[in-house]
Structure 1
């Protein structure tokens, strides 16, 4: 009887832990979608809300921006996304930190110049006051 109770409680704890991680993974995936939408719209308020004040945003070209430059470039026409498609996304959560990897393809109109982009991306998200916010991003060129 004791073994059955211990086994049952162990299974309940495992199920609970799996469910908690699944909820965080869902929340992180939703945050990624919110970021994507804000980038396409050039929505200053949404971009500020979804990013940490210490944002470190690395481009595949090697340029690294802080939060102010990231938001400014997406709202002043320097960096315009007409569309963004994310594929091959994985989410790994460790405590209050999440790592998201995906391939980003999209249409751009940077400074009015039409273009295409296909890059690999690593995003670092942290959970602050129950909300996932972007702390870091590094993009790299893919063939």
Structure 2
């Protein structure tokens, strides 16, 4: 009887554990997706017309910002390059955006097409971007970004 009860208890415990894992892994996109999209749009605007305050509110202190050429920025270097014109976006158009949110982390993918004027030199860029946003309190912060040039 004890063995049968132990087996039954183990089965219930296993089922509850698996159910809990399934619940935690369920996407929260429908609930949080619009607020992530708003944060991503605020970042797009702030990259065109940068201020330290606007950018500082949107990016995490631990930011790892990977460029398509291989360079990786921190929060300080990302904001600094936008403020001093080393990285200067004249226009940014975002297309093909998708957002998936799970447990307070959002994965945002899109295509970024932009006119630039980096260090006073006009240019154009089209890249694929993966952004990882983390919910901190009621705010979404960009924690990591990686860009690649389409093949």
TM-score bucket of the superposed structures, by smaller chain: 0.7 to 0.9
Given the two structures, how large is their TM-score scaled by the length of structure 1? 0.85
State the alpha-carbon separation in 2 of the partners of residues 85 and 67 from structure 1. Answer: 22
Instruction: Look at both structures and tell me which one has the larger radius of gyration over its CA atoms.
Output: 2
**TM-score for the superposition, normalised by structure 2:** 0.80
Deviations 1:67-123 (A, max 9, x none): 000000011110000000000000011111000000000100000000000000000
SS in structure 2 opposite 1:74?
helix
Query: 2:31, 2:84 → 1: CA distance?
Result: 35
Q: Does 1:47 find its partner at 2:55?
A: yes
Q: Of the candidates 101, 117, 126, which is equivalent to residue 109 of structure 1?
A: 117
What SS is found at the alignment partner of 2:69? Answer: coil
5+ residue gaps in structure 2?
1-25
Q: Is the CA contact (8 Å cut-off) linking 1:42 and 1:80 kept in structure 2?
A: no
3-state SS, counterpart of residue 33 of structure 2: helix
Give the equivalent residue in structure 2 for 1:30.
38
Equivalent residue pairs, number: 126
Structure 1 unaligned regions, length at least 5: 1-16
C-alpha contact 1:78 1:110 (8 A) present in aligned 2: yes
Q: CA RMSD in A?
A: 1.4
Runs of 4+ in 1 over 4 A off after TM superposition: none
Instruction: State the shift of 1:140 in Å.
Output: 0.2
Alignment of 1:55-74 (within 5 A): 55-74=63-82
Counterpart in 2 of 1:119?
127
1:22 Cα offset (Å)? 2.0
SS at match of 1:39: helix
Matched residue, 1:141: 149
